A and B are shown apart, each in its own frame.
Chain A
Amino acid sequence: MEKLSFEESIEQLEDIVNKLENGDVPLDEAIDEFEKAMELVKVCNEKLNNAEESIAKIVKDNDKLIEFNINE
């Protein structure tokens, strides 16, 4: 689950919500899906809370990356 991209996680979450809202999922399956969704919410929140500040780098012609200092 950790390997999912943030976008995929959100998509899966939305899928599960729709599925559960329809109500035609058997209860056992619904509980499994719910647990999965809770896990996804947790992962997403972790990703967001642990997100490091965006870093900007200049890509040189030789593919060397140099940090971009916005104040220069």
Chain B
Amino acid sequence: MEEKHLTVSQINAYINKKMKFDVNLKNIYVKGEISNYKTYSSGHSYFTLKDKKSQISGVMFKYNKRSLKFEPKDGMKVIIKGKIEVYEKDGKYQLYATRITEDGIGELHIAFEQLKKKLKKEGLFDDVHKKQIPAFPRKIGVVTASTGAAIKDIITTIKRRYPYCEILVFSTLVQGDQAAPQIIRQIRHAQEYDLDTLIVGRGGGSIEDLWPFNEESVAREIYACKIPIISAVGHEIDYTISDFVADLRAPTPTAAAELAVPELKEIKNTIKQIDEKLIKTMENRIAHNKNRLDYIAKKQIFKNPESIYEIKEMHLDNLINKIEFTSKNIITKNKNQLQQLKNSFILKNPNEIIKRKKESYYRNIDKLEVLNPLLTLKRGYSIAEKDGEIISSVDDVKVGDEVKIKLDDGTINTKVI
């Protein structure tokens, strides 16, 4: 008898139908570890979710991935929200994920993001608040567990690079609930010491282990600390709030030590370079000045210093010559003038002047002769006077007046009748 058979498609379709009706598979949360996570060019991601005993295939379609805050990676412990359905083509059931959150640390993760956002908004991460890490520290403080690997790495590194500074260890718990208050107390304690730099941190661990360095109180203490702080929490990939708020973030404790101190060899090199530069600069400077001096020294004036006097003497001679010449000239001129005067006709013949004056004198006397009124009297004329006044009219006299008549040879006193 021929048995009744079903096709593969039919059975897969049947199972699919069955499962779709099962409300228990419709809206579920599955916890496990991700492995074989792959995203195809379509944008859909495929993975396997497993625990210690078992595994299930999973898929997350592109449009659901928009809700993801992180990129799922192999080894991640997650909780996936979704449904179970059958993929008929392959005849297998799988988990269709609509949301993936990290298991356990999900809440911490959210807290981290929220605190980071809040402190950033307050400006605690701003570069203007970052203090310069001293290049050549003398005293370095380290706030970390005195028993951990981190402190050993830091001390070893500092000693190797720069045997020139003191390291003060402020021991604290670095994980668990008690860690944050202790870290804060030790940062405060460290500020009582004259430290150049403070390293705050711990070695690697899970996000829970690192959590004290994500506490707001620790972040604010680091921000308020007067000493420049280098944070060194966990490994390269671990970022904590302390890293953002510190003056400098070091990826590891060893790196923090390297950032905190220079390498002695480098310093020695720097000083050597400065030394050589100084000497070279100075040598150049001196050589340059020596050249200048040589050039000046070679000038004629220094070869024949007498020439300074020679020039002056020449000048003096010249002046003397001029003076002599000029004074001679003046004297000669005056002599000539004198000679000319001496030679003049007048000085040679003073009698001539007298003769001339006499002649003039006689001519004037003759003129006076003509005008003399007494000559008129000589010719028989007379002058009548009354009281000394010459009478020129009959009206000048009346009867009885005495009148004097002047003649050439005397006077006649008369009376008017």
Report which A residues bind B (CB closer than 8 A).
5-7, 10, 13-14, 16-17, 20-21, 23, 27, 30-31, 34, 37-38, 41, 44-45, 47-48, 51-59, 61, 63, 65, 68, 70
Q: Which residues of B contact A58 (CB under 8 A)?
A: 146, 168-169, 171
Q: 5 A-B Cβ contacts within 8 A?
A: A13-B274, A21-B277, A23-B285, A57-B167, A59-B168
Task: Give me the 9 closest cross-chain CB pairs, A-B, nearest first.
Answer: A56-B167, A51-B164, A7-B136, A6-B136, A58-B169, A20-B281, A56-B155, A53-B163, A41-B275
Q: Which residues of B contact A70 (CB under 8 A)?
A: 152, 155-156
Among B136, B146, B192, B277, point to the contact of A68 (Cβ < 8 A).
B146
Q: Which residues of B contact A38 (CB under 8 A)?
A: 278
A48 touches B164 (CB 8 A): yes
Report which B residues bind A (CB closer than 8 A).
134-136, 138, 141, 146, 151-152, 155-156, 158-159, 162-171, 189-190, 192-193, 264, 267-268, 270-271, 274-275, 277-278, 281-282, 285, 289
B278 touches A7 (CB 8 A): no
Q: What's the nearest-Cβ distance from chain A to residue B196, in Å?
A: 9
A68 touches B281 (CB 8 A): no
With A6-B136, A30-B285: A51-B163 Cβ-Cβ less than 8 Å? yes
B270 touches A56 (CB 8 A): no
Complex CA–CA separation, A44 to B270 (angstroms): 11
Nearest B residue (CB) for A27: B289
Complex CA–CA separation, A61 to B186 (angstroms): 9
B193 touches A59 (CB 8 A): yes
Complex CA–CA separation, A6 to B257 (angstroms): 19
A20 touches B285 (CB 8 A): yes
Nearest A residue (CB) for B156: A70
Q: Which residues of B contact A61 (CB under 8 A)?
A: 189
Q: What's the nearest-Cβ distance from chain B to residue A27, in Å?
A: 6
Nearest A residue (CB) for B189: A59
B169 touches A54 (CB 8 A): no
Q: What's the nearest-Cβ distance from chain A to residue B181, in Å?
A: 13
